[in-house]
Structure 1
Amino acid sequence: MKLTPTQFGGAVAVDGYGPGFFRVGGQVMQGAVLVTASGGTAWGGLDDRAPLLALAGQVDVLFIGMGADVAHAPADLVAALREGGVAVESMASPTAARTYNVTLSEGRRVACALLPL
Protein backbone atom coordinates (compact mmCIF):
# COMPACT_ATOMS: atom_id res chain seq x y z
CA MET A 1 0.00 0.00 0.00
CA LYS A 2 1.24 3.46 -0.89
CA LEU A 3 0.93 6.12 1.80
CA THR A 4 -0.18 9.66 1.05
CA PRO A 5 2.77 12.07 0.86
CA THR A 6 2.99 15.01 3.22
CA GLN A 7 5.62 17.56 4.21
CA PHE A 8 8.49 16.15 6.26
CA GLY A 9 11.05 18.95 6.11
CA GLY A 10 13.80 16.67 4.84
CA ALA A 11 13.06 13.87 7.30
CA VAL A 12 12.58 10.34 5.99
CA ALA A 13 9.07 8.88 5.97
CA VAL A 14 7.59 5.45 5.34
CA ASP A 15 6.25 5.70 1.77
CA GLY A 16 4.50 2.33 1.58
CA TYR A 17 4.44 -1.30 2.62
CA GLY A 18 3.35 -4.73 1.47
CA PRO A 19 3.91 -8.39 2.20
CA GLY A 20 7.47 -8.64 3.55
CA PHE A 21 8.65 -5.13 2.66
CA PHE A 22 8.53 -1.43 3.51
CA ARG A 23 9.38 1.51 1.24
CA VAL A 24 11.31 4.09 3.25
CA GLY A 25 12.36 7.37 1.68
CA GLY A 26 11.70 5.86 -1.75
CA GLN A 27 13.86 2.77 -1.13
CA VAL A 28 12.33 -0.72 -0.83
CA MET A 29 13.58 -2.58 2.24
CA GLN A 30 12.83 -6.27 2.83
CA GLY A 31 12.01 -7.58 6.30
CA ALA A 32 11.93 -5.68 9.57
CA VAL A 33 13.08 -2.05 9.55
CA LEU A 34 13.93 0.69 12.00
CA VAL A 35 13.02 4.14 10.70
CA THR A 36 14.14 7.48 12.12
CA ALA A 37 14.02 10.97 10.65
CA SER A 38 17.49 10.34 9.16
CA GLY A 39 16.61 7.11 7.35
CA GLY A 40 15.72 3.45 7.50
CA THR A 41 17.93 0.50 8.40
CA ALA A 42 17.44 -3.23 8.53
CA TRP A 43 16.39 -4.38 11.99
CA GLY A 44 16.67 -7.88 13.44
CA GLY A 45 13.26 -7.84 15.12
CA LEU A 46 12.26 -7.85 18.77
CA ASP A 47 15.41 -9.72 19.85
CA ASP A 48 17.58 -6.99 18.28
CA ARG A 49 17.27 -4.53 21.14
CA ALA A 50 20.53 -2.57 20.90
CA PRO A 51 19.42 -0.26 18.04
CA LEU A 52 16.18 0.49 19.88
CA LEU A 53 17.91 1.23 23.17
CA ALA A 54 20.38 3.48 21.30
CA LEU A 55 17.44 5.78 20.48
CA ALA A 56 17.46 7.11 24.06
CA GLY A 57 18.06 10.85 23.95
CA GLN A 58 17.37 10.98 20.20
CA VAL A 59 13.63 10.31 20.10
CA ASP A 60 10.76 10.81 22.51
CA VAL A 61 8.42 8.15 21.11
CA LEU A 62 9.01 4.80 19.41
CA PHE A 63 6.13 3.22 17.52
CA ILE A 64 6.61 -0.56 17.35
CA GLY A 65 4.75 -2.25 14.52
CA MET A 66 4.04 -5.83 15.49
CA GLY A 67 3.25 -7.09 11.97
CA ALA A 68 -0.24 -7.54 10.58
CA ASP A 69 -1.94 -7.86 13.97
CA VAL A 70 -2.17 -5.72 17.05
CA ALA A 71 0.03 -7.16 19.80
CA HIS A 72 2.03 -5.95 22.76
CA ALA A 73 5.79 -5.57 22.61
CA PRO A 74 7.68 -7.57 25.25
CA ALA A 75 7.22 -5.92 28.65
CA ASP A 76 10.94 -5.99 29.49
CA LEU A 77 11.78 -4.21 26.22
CA VAL A 78 9.15 -1.55 26.88
CA ALA A 79 10.47 -1.08 30.44
CA ALA A 80 14.08 -0.71 29.24
CA LEU A 81 13.08 1.86 26.63
CA ARG A 82 10.97 3.83 29.11
CA GLU A 83 13.86 3.78 31.56
CA GLY A 84 15.91 5.44 28.80
CA GLY A 85 13.26 8.13 28.35
CA VAL A 86 11.61 6.69 25.24
CA ALA A 87 7.83 6.27 25.30
CA VAL A 88 6.63 3.15 23.47
CA GLU A 89 3.41 2.52 21.56
CA SER A 90 2.76 -0.95 20.10
CA MET A 91 0.33 -1.44 17.24
CA ALA A 92 0.01 -3.22 13.89
CA SER A 93 2.80 -2.25 11.47
CA PRO A 94 0.55 -0.39 8.97
CA THR A 95 -0.84 1.73 11.81
CA ALA A 96 2.64 2.31 13.25
CA ALA A 97 3.94 3.49 9.86
CA ARG A 98 1.06 5.93 9.38
CA THR A 99 1.26 7.20 12.97
CA TYR A 100 5.02 7.70 12.60
CA ASN A 101 4.50 9.72 9.41
CA VAL A 102 1.84 11.97 10.94
CA THR A 103 3.84 12.55 14.10
CA LEU A 104 7.01 13.15 12.09
CA SER A 105 5.19 15.74 9.96
CA GLU A 106 4.42 17.61 13.20
CA GLY A 107 8.16 17.97 13.76
CA ARG A 108 8.30 15.60 16.72
CA ARG A 109 11.25 13.34 17.63
CA VAL A 110 9.91 9.92 16.71
CA ALA A 111 11.00 6.58 15.28
CA CYS A 112 9.28 3.36 14.27
CA ALA A 113 10.42 -0.24 14.37
CA LEU A 114 8.33 -2.31 11.97
CA LEU A 115 7.94 -6.06 11.72
CA PRO A 116 6.87 -7.17 8.22
CA LEU A 117 3.33 -8.14 7.30
Structure 2
Amino acid sequence: MEIRDAHFPGRAPLDAYGDGGFRFAKMSHRGSVLCVPSGIFGWSPVSFADLTVEAFEKVLDDTADIEVLLIGTGPDLRPLPADLKQVFRDAGIIADSMSTGAAVRTFNVMLSEERAVAAALLAVD
Protein backbone atom coordinates (compact mmCIF):
# COMPACT_ATOMS: atom_id res chain seq x y z
CA MET A 1 0.00 0.00 0.00
CA GLU A 2 1.31 3.44 -0.95
CA ILE A 3 0.53 6.40 1.31
CA ARG A 4 0.81 9.76 -0.43
CA ASP A 5 0.63 13.30 0.81
CA ALA A 6 -2.90 14.70 0.61
CA HIS A 7 -3.32 16.72 -2.58
CA PHE A 8 -6.25 17.87 -4.72
CA PRO A 9 -4.91 19.00 -8.12
CA GLY A 10 -6.92 22.12 -8.77
CA ARG A 11 -8.72 25.07 -7.27
CA ALA A 12 -11.97 24.54 -5.39
CA PRO A 13 -14.04 26.44 -2.88
CA LEU A 14 -14.04 25.14 0.66
CA ASP A 15 -17.49 23.78 1.51
CA ALA A 16 -17.02 23.38 5.27
CA TYR A 17 -14.48 23.60 8.06
CA GLY A 18 -14.38 22.44 11.66
CA ASP A 19 -14.11 19.15 13.54
CA GLY A 20 -10.38 19.28 12.84
CA GLY A 21 -10.56 19.47 9.06
CA PHE A 22 -12.08 20.77 5.82
CA ARG A 23 -14.48 19.65 3.08
CA PHE A 24 -14.04 20.56 -0.58
CA ALA A 25 -14.68 19.02 -4.02
CA LYS A 26 -16.83 16.22 -2.52
CA MET A 27 -13.88 15.17 -0.33
CA SER A 28 -12.77 15.78 3.22
CA HIS A 29 -9.37 16.27 4.78
CA ARG A 30 -8.47 16.00 8.45
CA GLY A 31 -5.88 18.59 9.48
CA SER A 32 -4.69 21.92 8.13
CA VAL A 33 -4.70 22.76 4.40
CA LEU A 34 -2.75 24.93 2.01
CA CYS A 35 -4.71 26.20 -1.01
CA VAL A 36 -2.43 27.44 -3.80
CA PRO A 37 -2.97 27.75 -7.57
CA SER A 38 -1.50 24.26 -8.15
CA GLY A 39 -3.98 22.61 -5.78
CA ILE A 40 -5.10 21.98 -2.24
CA PHE A 41 -2.52 20.24 -0.08
CA GLY A 42 -2.51 18.74 3.38
CA TRP A 43 -0.41 21.12 5.47
CA SER A 44 1.66 20.11 8.50
CA PRO A 45 1.22 23.09 10.89
CA VAL A 46 -1.25 22.41 13.70
CA SER A 47 -0.83 25.57 15.78
CA PHE A 48 0.07 29.22 15.35
CA ALA A 49 3.57 28.49 16.67
CA ASP A 50 4.14 26.22 13.64
CA LEU A 51 3.76 29.11 11.16
CA THR A 52 7.38 29.52 10.09
CA VAL A 53 8.91 30.57 6.78
CA GLU A 54 9.56 26.88 6.03
CA ALA A 55 5.84 26.10 6.44
CA PHE A 56 5.08 28.48 3.55
CA GLU A 57 7.56 26.99 1.08
CA LYS A 58 4.85 26.05 -1.47
CA VAL A 59 3.46 29.59 -1.34
CA LEU A 60 6.86 31.16 -1.85
CA ASP A 61 7.55 28.78 -4.78
CA ASP A 62 4.32 29.94 -6.50
CA THR A 63 4.62 33.73 -6.12
CA ALA A 64 3.93 34.49 -9.79
CA ASP A 65 0.32 33.30 -9.37
CA ILE A 66 -0.41 34.66 -5.87
CA GLU A 67 -1.19 38.26 -5.01
CA VAL A 68 -3.01 37.69 -1.71
CA LEU A 69 -2.37 35.05 0.93
CA LEU A 70 -5.07 34.53 3.55
CA ILE A 71 -3.74 32.90 6.70
CA GLY A 72 -6.30 31.23 8.94
CA THR A 73 -4.75 31.33 12.41
CA GLY A 74 -7.21 29.02 14.15
CA PRO A 75 -10.32 29.98 16.11
CA ASP A 76 -9.04 33.50 16.80
CA LEU A 77 -7.23 36.21 14.87
CA ARG A 78 -3.50 36.24 15.60
CA PRO A 79 -1.27 38.86 13.94
CA LEU A 80 1.69 37.52 11.98
CA PRO A 81 5.17 38.20 13.33
CA ALA A 82 6.75 41.17 11.56
CA ASP A 83 9.61 39.08 10.12
CA LEU A 84 7.20 36.59 8.51
CA LYS A 85 5.04 39.39 7.13
CA GLN A 86 8.20 40.94 5.63
CA VAL A 87 9.07 37.68 3.84
CA PHE A 88 5.72 37.82 2.04
CA ARG A 89 6.08 41.54 1.32
CA ASP A 90 9.51 40.90 -0.22
CA ALA A 91 7.93 38.20 -2.41
CA GLY A 92 5.24 40.62 -3.62
CA ILE A 93 2.43 38.90 -1.69
CA ILE A 94 -0.09 40.65 0.54
CA ALA A 95 -0.44 38.39 3.59
CA ASP A 96 -3.50 38.85 5.76
CA SER A 97 -4.09 36.85 8.92
CA MET A 98 -7.57 36.23 10.33
CA SER A 99 -9.46 33.48 12.09
CA THR A 100 -9.74 30.30 10.05
CA GLY A 101 -13.49 30.79 9.57
CA ALA A 102 -13.04 34.32 8.23
CA ALA A 103 -10.19 33.14 5.99
CA VAL A 104 -12.34 30.34 4.51
CA ARG A 105 -15.19 32.74 3.73
CA THR A 106 -12.86 35.37 2.24
CA PHE A 107 -11.00 32.74 0.20
CA ASN A 108 -14.27 31.49 -1.32
CA VAL A 109 -15.36 35.00 -2.29
CA MET A 110 -11.99 35.89 -3.82
CA LEU A 111 -11.84 32.53 -5.64
CA SER A 112 -15.30 33.15 -7.13
CA GLU A 113 -14.00 36.53 -8.36
CA GLU A 114 -11.08 34.68 -10.01
CA ARG A 115 -8.54 36.61 -7.95
CA ALA A 116 -4.93 35.45 -7.50
CA VAL A 117 -5.56 34.21 -3.96
CA ALA A 118 -4.04 31.48 -1.81
CA ALA A 119 -4.95 30.33 1.69
CA ALA A 120 -3.01 28.68 4.50
CA LEU A 121 -5.54 27.39 6.99
CA LEU A 122 -5.03 25.90 10.43
CA ALA A 123 -7.69 23.32 11.23
CA VAL A 124 -10.13 24.12 14.04
CA ASP A 125 -12.33 21.90 16.20
Counterpart Cα distance in 1 of 2:80 and 2:19: 21
Residue correspondences, number: 108
Question: What's the CA shift string for 1:50-90, capped at 9, x where partnerless?
Answer: 12222311110000000001111232221111111110110
User: Where do residues 74-85 of structure 1 align in structure 2 (5 Å cutoff)?
Assistant: 74-85=81-92
What residue is the counterpart of 1:14 in the other structure? 14
My pick for the range that moved more, 61-70 or 71-80, is 71-80
- Bigger radius of gyration: 2
Cα 1:26–1:37 shift into 2, 3 Å:
farther
Residue ranges of structure 1 left out of the alignment (5+ in a row): 1-9
What residue is the counterpart of 2:43 in the other structure? 43
The offset of 1:108, in angstroms, is: 0.6
Q: TM-score normalised to the size of structure 2?
A: 0.79
What residue is the counterpart of 1:6 in the other structure? none
What value does the CA root-mean-square deviation take over the aligned residues? 1.6
User: Where do residues 1-117 of structure 1 align in structure 2 (5 Å cutoff)?
Assistant: 11-45=11-45, 46-47=51-52, 48-117=55-124
| Higher relative helix content | 2
Counterpart Cα distance in 2 of 1:59 and 1:52: 8
4+ residue segments displaced more than 6 Å: none
The offset of 1:39, in angstroms, is: 2.7
The share of aligned pairs that are identical, in percent, is 40
Letter in 2 for 1:30: R
Letter in 2 for 1:50: E
Letter in 1 for 2:87: A
Is 2:11–2:35's contact at 8 Å kept on the other side of the alignment? Answer: no
**SS of match in other structure, 2:65:** coil
Is 2:11–2:40's contact at 8 Å kept on the other side of the alignment? Answer: no
Letter in 1 for 2:84: L
Letter in 2 for 1:56: T
Is 2:36–2:59's contact at 8 Å kept on the other side of the alignment? Answer: no
Letter in 1 for 2:100: S
